[in-house]
Amino acid sequence: MITSIGNNGRVMPTPSSTDPLLILSSTLQTAFEAVAGRAGIDPVIRPSEHADAQANGALALAKELGQSPRQVADAVLAQCAGLTDICSSIEVAGPGFLNLVFNNDFLAGLLKQVSDDSRLGIGKVTKRKVVIDYSAPNVAKEMHVGHLRTTVIGDSLVRMLTFVGHDVIRENHIGDWGTPFGMLIEHLLDLGETKAAEHLSLGDLDGFYKQARAKFDGDEAFQDRARSRVVLLQGGDDETRRLWKLLVNLSTQHFNAVYELLGVLLTDNDLMGESAYNDLLPQVITRLDKLGLLQQSDGADVVFPPGYTNREGDPLPLIVQKGQGGFNYATSDLACVIDRIDRLNADLLLYVVGAPQAQHLSMVFDVARMAGWLNEPNEAVHVAFGNVLGSDRKMMKSRSGDPLKFIDLVEEAVTRADESIASKNPNLPEAERKVIAQMVGIGAVKYADLSTDRVRDYVFDWERMLSFDGNTGPYLQYAHARICSIFRRAGIERESVRNITPNLVEPQERELAIKLLAFNAAVIDTIDKYSPHRLCTYIYELATTFTAFYEHCPVLKAEDENIRQSRLALCDLTARVLNQGLALLGIETPEQM
């Protein structure tokens, strides 16, 4: 099954789609075009509160045709005689809307198609080579809540992009280079390698960093040592490189432990730290110079991309080589663009980086375009996210006060989940409960982060994150667990009901069917905007629609065997979509909780 995306990023309907709204859209388009007497009319199909769907196209077309919207709607309706296999009812309503009610057999047939499809109706898209830059913790620094966002959002985008058929390259651009390493290496030497290794392997990266920083700030002799150590490091001195590598390895071990605990896909193979681009940096300058883009400003080498100004209203430069001759992050970000496009042949570069970097990245992309390194159809996108705020609504900065350590956060979430499960389901053996608590606790943390619009600031709240009510991970997992429980209790294999075409009678059954068939659209929309919260909203709506069905439509106690079989099929498909949807967010679904 192929769902193609047009160059406007929107989904174009294809006959093989299992999305009833798409099918309706392409079918009604013909009717609208017949009335308009020209091609390219959008019927403007939307979900509706007054019917299963509504077509708003008549209102827009009325002016062009010099008729009233209701006249246009009536004319379109007259063209829809052949639609009876899709819609059981079409009527004109209000100022000129077409209210459409789907034929039950049509919906049931689509459900069967989705059920027969291991991809649950999610089509593959035209393949692109995508490089996604996310997580990016700093060596010898603790991962904190800020890293949580980029890591969790990036991981979920990786899963979705891969699933729809893109070739995805993960890059973890760790901060493993630059001036702080002078002081870090000198501090390592002061402590002694063995003691430093013990210190760092305990995961107390911040303590190590702070000690080094304190010495640097208060001790001039140490400052001198640190500065000359940086020179040695950048000059490629063997012993210095060895010590540097030691620091990097100890840190990445810690990162890997966190990634594994979180169930994030990043591994050592994805490491592409700043140091990896070191050899490319001089080239960036020479190439910009050859292109005539390089200018001198206050002793630094800079490029002036148009459209940026500083406080005084003067053109704002992107500094690519400092007055002292050193490179900075602009240089290395430009090297990244070159490397990702030239060496990796990527055509889409995603940067899951905090919103405060917007101007910097925008300038880097502009300079890359000016230099001809980034051309259509290749594109770079800043997948920006907002700050993590405390309950006081102030930014949670690692500097000020006590930073919330990543690992402590996850452990507390798991502990709380464990306590909840123990109290709600005391018969569950402890070993099983521990496994489930891990899924629930970590799922809660991830879902809390993913379920709000990423560009907005995010209020970090223990209570809400771990609450088992409302739009939370545990609620969704619970809906899934309840379905599994039905099958477990009845001793029925899930696979055994997959040859059944459901019979949709009750309103809750129809609602559930329509929601299930919207999965593909939700995933495509989520990817189109790089906004996981859209998928979260869909899954939450699916779960609430399911629980309404669950309350109103008895499954195992259904009045006859056909209804029972039909409802079992609906349950199974719902569980599969919940499971797949949450999997695309990087969240696991326990079978009981």
DSSP letter string over 139-176? TTS--BHHHHHHHHHHHHHHHHHHHTT-EEEEEB--B-
Half-sphere exposure of 53 (CA within 13 A, CB side): 27
Q: Is 48 in the site for RNA (CB under 7 A)?
A: yes
Distance CA 72, CA 36 (A): 9
CB atoms closer than 10 angstroms to residue 366: 17
How many residues touch RNA under the rule CB under 7 A: the total is 105
From the list 360, 366, 379, 492, which residue makes contact with RNA (rule: CB under 7 A)?
Answer: 360
User: What's the chain's Rg over C-alpha atoms?
Assistant: 28
Closer residue to RNA (CB): 113 or 592 = 592
| Widest distance between CA atoms in the chain | 89
Distance CA 590, CA 582 (A): 11
Q: Which of 80-88, 157-165, 464-472, 492-500 is the region at the interface with RNA (rule: CB under 7 A)?
A: 464-472
| Burial group, residue 60, by CB count within 10 angstroms (0-12, 13-18, 19+) | middle
Write down the least CB distance from residue 225 to RNA, Å: 18
From the list 24, 555, 577, 578, which residue makes contact with RNA (rule: CB under 7 A)?
Answer: 555
Q: Is 494 in the site for RNA (CB under 7 A)?
A: no
For RNA, the binding residues in 229-288 under the rule CB under 7 A are 274
H or E element: which one contains 47?
A: strand 45-47
Binding pattern to RNA, positions 367-406, x when CB under 7 A?
-------------------xx-----x-x-----------
From the list 82, 207, 282, 470, which residue makes contact with RNA (rule: CB under 7 A)?
Answer: 470
Closer residue to RNA (CB): 82 or 554 = 554
Q: Is 88 in the site for RNA (CB under 7 A)?
A: no
CB atoms closer than 10 angstroms to residue 82: 10
Phi-psi region of 42 (alpha: psi -120 to 50; beta: other; left: phi over 0): beta
Closer residue to RNA (CB): 67 or 328 = 328
Closer residue to RNA (CB): 168 or 543 = 543
Return the DSSP state at 382.
E
From the list 249, 425, 501, 503, which residue makes contact with RNA (rule: CB under 7 A)?
Answer: 425
Q: Is 557 in the site for RNA (CB under 7 A)?
A: yes
Closer residue to RNA (CB): 27 or 347 = 27
Which of 113, 102, 106, 115 has its CA nearest to residue 568? 115
Q: Is 469 in the site for RNA (CB under 7 A)?
A: yes
Q: Is 309 in the site for RNA (CB under 7 A)?
A: yes
Closer residue to RNA (CB): 191 or 395 = 395
3-state DSSP helix/strand/coil percent for the chain, to nearest 5? 55, 10, 30
For RNA, the binding residues in 563-592 under the rule CB under 7 A are 592
Q: Is 556 in the site for RNA (CB under 7 A)?
A: yes
Write down the least CB distance from residue 16 to RNA, Å: 21
H or E element: which one contains 4?
A: strand 4-5
Write down the least CB distance from residue 381 to RNA, Å: 14
From the list 82, 95, 401, 507, which residue makes contact with RNA (rule: CB under 7 A)?
Answer: 95
Write down the least CB distance from residue 101 to RNA, Å: 11
From the list 102, 134, 177, 351, which residue makes contact with RNA (rule: CB under 7 A)?
Answer: 177
H or E element: which one contains 315?
A: none
Q: Which residues are CB-neighbours of 538 under 8 A, at least 6 positions away?
A: 518, 519, 522, 526, 581
Closer residue to RNA (CB): 266 or 555 = 555
Write down the least CB distance from residue 408 to RNA, Å: 22
Closer residue to RNA (CB): 17 or 99 = 99
Q: Which residues are CB-neighbours of 26 under 8 A, at least 6 positions away?
A: 13, 14, 15
Say how many Å lie between the first and final Cα of the chain, rounded.
Answer: 35
Q: Which of 56-64, 80-88, 161-169, 406-414 is the region at the interface with RNA (rule: CB under 7 A)?
A: 56-64
Q: Is 486 in the site for RNA (CB under 7 A)?
A: yes
From the list 137, 317, 473, 581, which residue makes contact with RNA (rule: CB under 7 A)?
Answer: 317
Determine the residue type at 335: A
Q: Is 210 in the site for RNA (CB under 7 A)?
A: no
Distance CA 558, CA 566 (A): 10
Q: Is 537 in the site for RNA (CB under 7 A)?
A: yes
Which of 585, 158, 138, 127 has its CA nearest to residue 383? 158
Return the sign of the alpha-carbon dihedral for residues 142, 148, 150, 155.
positive
From the list 137, 403, 474, 581, which residue makes contact with RNA (rule: CB under 7 A)?
Answer: 474
From the list 63, 210, 245, 290, which residue makes contact with RNA (rule: CB under 7 A)?
Answer: 63
Q: Is 456 in the site for RNA (CB under 7 A)?
A: yes
Residues in the chain: 593
Task: Determine the 3-state secondary structure of 345 from DSSP.
Answer: coil
From the list 1, 65, 232, 300, which residue makes contact with RNA (rule: CB under 7 A)?
Answer: 300
From the list 282, 299, 401, 507, which residue makes contact with RNA (rule: CB under 7 A)?
Answer: 299
CB atoms closer than 10 angstroms to residue 506: 14
Q: Is 310 in the site for RNA (CB under 7 A)?
A: yes
Closer residue to RNA (CB): 337 or 593 = 593
